Chains A and B, each alone.
Chain A
Amino acid sequence: DIVMTQSPDSLAVPLGERATINCKSSQSVLYSSNNKNYLAWYQQKPGQPPKVLFYWASTRESGVPDRFSGSGSGTDFTLTISSLQAEDVAVYYCQQYYSTPRRTFGQGTKVEIK
């Protein structure tokens, strides 16, 4: 199984500041035949189901604010919130689908306001 490891487990960022979440996979999730990274990012607010933010590592889902960005390739990925807003308080998960349909998630990163 591909193991996804996120860091940090939690972070507290002042409003308006940058938040950065890292995700590392135990093996590359870059599919060489199409040069796509098989990685998604989800946001889960308390009491709600997860919501996809990015797929193919950096393709933003419709409606996701542009203060969110996804980057990285191979085994190392980053989700960045350029200017943290109160409504961004949530747990964020990365997910690989390289080994689809057996997909695995990172353990989650909790983002709070400092």
Chain B
Amino acid sequence: EVHLVESGGGLVQPGGSLRLSCAASGFTFSTYSMNWVRQAPGKGLEWLSYISPSSSTIYYADSAKGRFTISRDDAKNSLHLQMNSLRAEDTAVYYCARDRIRGVDFDYWGQGTLVTVSS
């Protein structure tokens, strides 16, 4: 059974950094494209970043470009999101999500990890 478990969220001050992780199990992680999607409190879903197998292709939403870095460790079946220069508007639940097939819909999601940016 596919499982995605996020961790690393918490309270951080504006301008601070945080590194999120997503532990994957139940499938051959190295062969799947992965994504980060976030949801601000009471708001909709926002795709943030994509990484292909072997990390050969990486994309960011404009809101993440220059501040966030996606990476993966296929040996450890893990996905990461390094977030720097955090702002209040980055407060959200952050989900990792798997591509069904590269670039199509998201067939599995983690439960999410809450990031709160506040002084």
Chain A interface residues (CB < 8 Å from chain B): 38, 40, 42, 44, 48-52, 55, 61, 93, 95, 97, 100-108
Given contacts A49-B111, A55-B100, contact A102 B61 (CB under 8 A): yes
Number of A-B residue pairs having CB atoms within 8 Å of each other in the complex: 59
Contact A101 B105 (CB under 8 A): no
Given contacts A55-B104, A97-B104, contact A104 B47 (CB under 8 A): yes
A93 to B100 CA separation, bound complex (whole angstroms): 17
Interface residues contributed by chain B, number (CB under 8 Å) = 23
Residues of A within 8 A of B104 (CB): 38, 40, 55, 97, 100
Chain B interface residues (CB < 8 Å from chain A): 33, 35, 44-47, 50, 52, 57, 59, 61, 95, 99-100, 103-107, 109-112
Contact A101 B57 (CB under 8 A): yes
Residues of A within 8 A of B106 (CB): 40, 42, 50, 52, 95
Secondary structure at chain A's binding surface: helix, strand, loop or mixed?
Answer: loop
Contact B44 A101 (CB under 8 A): no
